[in-house]
Amino acid sequence: MDITSDTHSQHISRQFNQELEELKTHLMAMGGLVEKQVQDAVFALLEGDSHLAEKVRDNDRQVNDLQLQIDDECTRVLARRQPAASDLRLVLAVIRATSDLERIGDEASKIARNAMLLSESNGNVRGLIEVRHISEHVRKMLRDALTAFARFDTELAMQVVREDELVDDEYGSAMRSLMTFMMEDSRSISSVLSIMWVLRALERVGDHADNLAEYVVYLVKGLDIRHSDPDTIDPQVLKKS
């Protein structure tokens, strides 16, 4: 069923529609902030900009506040409007999404903390190429997942889900070459470890983007594809209606 026509036919209350729209708008604002946090954290690391890294760490509070605020709005919508069907799924998807966005914010903070550590170390830092490459990949996933949410676009959402497997492969191979660096030069251990934590954080950002994409499928199609192999999902079911 098309979520838009469903919404239109079932709601007499224009105010209720407006509340649901606001939930979505606020979630997108939180998504935008979190995207910026990841971008700034990676930039701070690559450019050795410890001032920007500190800003990222400080801004995490804003991300947390937005989560509390949006979750509170969701609870009030559930209590007052008692939504059903696709409206209920939207509210539940927003609640789940704020939790993933908040955790992406935490990962950005971790990257920023490692950027501060690395900016103090002198000498060549290994693994920055891998960081740049994987960060571009997961930032695209995050952007696409948020766009898919905003547009109720299940096909774009499924692309994000499939991308996550590629990121996992890239991550595995980057970790293996970093381990080789470490073994070759024990003086690099501390800085390579920092880069490993950063890569792990980026890989987690990819996982959370993957979760966001799964919620889009849930809210539009009523289909819970968490823990499913993306190749086993019937593409017909996911077609735009």
Name the site residues for a second copy (rule: CB under 8 A): 61, 64-65, 67-68, 71-72, 75, 78-79, 82, 84-85, 88-89, 92, 95-96, 99, 179, 182-183, 186, 189-190, 193, 196, 200, 224, 226-227
Q: How far is the CB of 136 from a second copy (least distance, A)?
A: 25
CB contact at 8 A, 216 and 154: yes
Of 51 and 124, which has the nearer Cβ to a second copy? 124
Of 135 and 194, which has the nearer Cβ to a second copy? 194
Of 81 and 143, which has the nearer Cβ to a second copy? 81
Q: How far is the CB of 67 from a second copy (least distance, A)?
A: 7
The whole-angstrom distance between residue 81's C-alpha and the CA centroid of its chain comes to 29
* Separation in Å, CA 92 to CA 4, 23, 75: 17, 11, 10
Q: How far is the CB of 90 from a second copy (least distance, A)?
A: 12
Of 46 and 88, which has the nearer Cβ to a second copy? 88
Q: How far is the CB of 209 from a second copy (least distance, A)?
A: 16
Of 113 and 139, which has the nearer Cβ to a second copy? 113
- Spatial distance between the Cα atoms of 43 and 52, rounded to a whole number of angstroms: 8
Handedness of CA 34, 99, 205, 166 (dihedral sign): negative
Q: How far is the CB of 47 from a second copy (least distance, A)?
A: 26
Q: How far is the CB of 71 from a second copy (least distance, A)?
A: 7
Of 51 and 122, which has the nearer Cβ to a second copy? 122
3-class SS shares of the chain: helix, strand, coil, % to 5: 85, 0, 15
Q: Is 83 left (phi over 0), alpha (psi -120 to 50) or beta?
A: beta
DSSP summary character for residue 127: T
CB contact at 8 A, 155 and 240: yes
Tokens representing residue 186 in the block: 């024990």
Handedness of CA 188, 193, 195, 196 (dihedral sign): positive
